[in-house]
Amino acid sequence: MGVKYTIIARPDKVSEKLMSDMEQELQAAGYERDDGHADYGFIIGGDGTFIYAVHHWFYRLKEMQLYGIHTGTLGFYTDYKDSDYREFMDRFFAGDLDEVMYPLLHVDVKGMMVHHAINEVRIENPARTQKIDVYVDGEYFETFRGTGLLLCTQLGSTAYNRSIGGAVIQEGLNLIEMAEIAGIHHAKARSLYAPIILKDSVHIVWKSDSFNGALLGTDSAVYPLDGATEIEIYICDEEWVRMLRGRKVSYFDRLKSLF
C-alpha cells in the first residue's frame, strides 16, 4: 500500500488552487488520499486553518505528521507561503524536514467533559462577575473576580493572551501562561493582577461555587459551563501535534511580520 495523505484547505481561490496542484503532484508520485487513515496531513491556509485541522484530526494526531503552507502573511505554524510552493513540495519529496512536537492542553471539566487545546483555554462570563479559586499543583494560589481567566501554551502566547496584556513567550520554551480577563481589584477583592508564566509540568485547577452563565473556550470552540464547579488543566503527556518543519524562519521575523 502507498503512503497516505489528507488535505484541509481554507475555502478561498488561492488555497483551493494550491490544494488541486498538490493533489496532482502527490498522486503522480504514488501517494494515496485517505482522509481517515493518513500518514501526512497537509494544511493550506492561515493559523486559524491549522488550529481547525488539529481539532478535526485530533484522534489521528499520534499517527500523522502535519505540514503546512500559508496563503497570506507568514504565520507561526508554517514555514512557507503560497509563493514558496515549489520549494515546499521539493523539500517534502526529498524528505529534507525536521519533526517538531507541539504540546496540547488537556482540559477536564470534572463530571462533564474533556477537551484539548493547542493555543489556549479560557473561562469568560459575560453575564456577571465570575469568582474563581485558583490552585497550582494542589496548592491554593488566589481567588480571582472578574470576567475570566486564560491559560495558554507558548504557541498561544501571541494570540488572545497577547491581546489582554499577556507576555509573548519565545519559541522553544515549553512553558504555560495564565492571564486575567478584566479582573476586579479593590480593597476586598485582589488577585495577582499580572500574567504568570509557569512550568509545563504544573496542574492548574479553577474552582467556583458556580460557573453558571460562563463559557469555556478551547481555541476557537466554546462550551457552556452551567453546572460545572471544577476545571483541571495541564499539558497532556499522551497527545502531541507532530509538525514537519523545513525552512528555518527566525521567530523574531515572524513576530515582526505580524505585529
Decide if 108 is catalytic.
no
Three-class secondary structure of residue 156 per DSSP = helix
Angle of CA points 194, 141, 215, to nearest 5°: 70
Measured CA distances, 108 to 105, 139, 218 (Å): 10, 18, 11
Q: Is the Cβ–Cβ distance between 46 and 75 less than 8 Å? A: yes
Q: Which three cell numbers stand for residue 134?
A: 485558583
- Taking each helix axis as running N to C, give the angle between helix 13-28 and helix 85-94, from 0 to 180 degrees, rounded to the nearest 10: 30
Helix, coil or strand: residue 72: coil
Backbone CA torsion sign across 121, 143, 210, 204: positive
Out of 47, 82, 137, 209, which one is annotated catalytic? 47
State the CB neighbour count (10 A cutoff) for residue 49.
23
Burial of 252 (0-12, 13-18, 19+ CB in 10 A): exposed
Are residues 47 and 75 in contact, defined by beta-carbon separation less than 8 angstroms?
Answer: yes
Could you list the active site residues?
47
